[in-house]
Amino acid sequence: MTLCVMFFLIIWRVPMTKKNLLSIYDLSVEEVKLLFSQAFYLKSKYKYFDILKGKTLGLIFEKPSTRTMVSFAVAMIQLGGVPLLLNNKNLQRKRGESIHDTSIVLSRYLNIIMMRAFKHSDVEEFAKYSTVPVVNGLTDYEHPCQILADIMTIMELHRIQAVEALRDIKIVYIGDSNNISNSLLAISAILDLNFTLIAPEEYLPEKKILSKAFEYTSLSKTEIKISSDINATENADVIYTDVWTSMGFESEANKRKKSLKYYQVNDELLKKVSPNCVVLHCLPAVRGEEITSEVMSKHENSIFTQAENRLHIQKAILLHLLNIKY
């Protein structure tokens, strides 16, 4: 009897397979399709049900958050589970406890953990020692949950049913190459999207980020273009921008403002795009820098739908990583 119980406990603590979402590249095309279909289904049908009753989600934040924190917490509650907000300042990590020990201990209390960190390698290290699924809630390298909500929003606003039909849409990201554009590049590579990234030369993506995306695209017909010419926005069906100074890069803010000033999303820039162009911003925005107040106001429906969709995609992510079928 004792042996049986011990065996059960070991199995329970160390699941045979554990799926993380640290990068968009962790997902197959089939998984991405499943996440979108579940998110659309949950958006249309359910507000509350108790499929995650008794389950706990830990939310670790090394940086501030509004959307990621609240959408994950509400998603968990609306699915019947419990979210725990774990600000790094209140954890013993603040006093130097290792990622290794923190991860092992938290895995024994929680069923799934989301982590927002400065360094991507810290989230990778955390996931290595965690026995429960780990989700990247933004690092210096990627923001996968955001980008899944963004593609969902593009499908919704351009009335696209099938992922394959996304290829007819020209998606343009303009501004700083950062975690958002890295995840956009990754999803474009995986889903064969028509994607153009526009940034000044000094803020183009690093070589290793481009090589990784092109590794995938060499096998497909994907059209990924990298340019410093703002005219490459021509006929865009989606224009996406993000802040010029991401969290953790504040000391470079003045230099960035000077280099990026010609890459602002404003009325002039939008003259070249397609008539039904959807403007996206992951938020928070700095009005007057990467986007004007006028454009934000005119396109607030798409930008706030994008923010709302974080909630629906987080539910799909939680169910998928917890391997819950319904």
Task: Out of 178, 182, 233, 314, point to the residue binding ligand NVA (CB under 6 A).
Answer: 178
Q: How far is CA 36 from CA 30, 79, 155, 170, in A?
A: 10, 17, 9, 19
From ligand CP, ligand NVA, none, interface partner of 66 (C-beta below 5 to 8 A by class): ligand CP
Q: Which of 184, 191, 228, 189 is nearest to 212 (CA)?
A: 189
DSSP state of 116: E
**DSSP assignment string, 167-215:** GGSEEEEES--SHHHHHHHHHHHHHT-EEEEE--GGGSPPHHHHHHHHH
Q: What are phi and psi of 142, to 5 degrees?
A: -150, 160
From ligand CP, ligand NVA, none, interface partner of 180 (C-beta below 5 to 8 A by class): ligand NVA
Residue 112 near residue 76, CB atoms below 8 Å? no
- Per-residue binder mask for ligand NVA (CB under 6 A), 222-251, x = binder: --------------------xx--xx----
Using CB under 6 A as the binding rule, whether residue 265 contacts ligand NVA is answered as no
Q: Strand, coil or helix: what is 240?
A: strand
Q: What are phi and psi of 68, to 5 degrees?
A: -65, -45
Distance of closest approach, residue 148 Cβ to ligand CP, in angstroms: 12
Using CB under 6 A as the binding rule, whether residue 150 contacts ligand NVA is answered as no
Distance of closest approach, residue 13 Cβ to ligand NVA, in angstroms: 33
- Count of residues binding ligand NVA (CB under 6 A)? 9
Distance of closest approach, residue 146 Cβ to ligand NVA, in angstroms: 6
From ligand CP, ligand NVA, none, interface partner of 28 (C-beta below 5 to 8 A by class): none
What gap in Å lies between CA 42 and CA 44, rounded to an integer? 5
**Site for ligand CP, residues 136 to 155, rule: CB under 6 A:** 138, 146
Whose Cβ is closer to ligand NVA: residue 105's or residue 253's? 253
Which residues of this chain interact with ligand NVA, rule CB under 6 A?
138, 178-180, 242-243, 246-247, 282
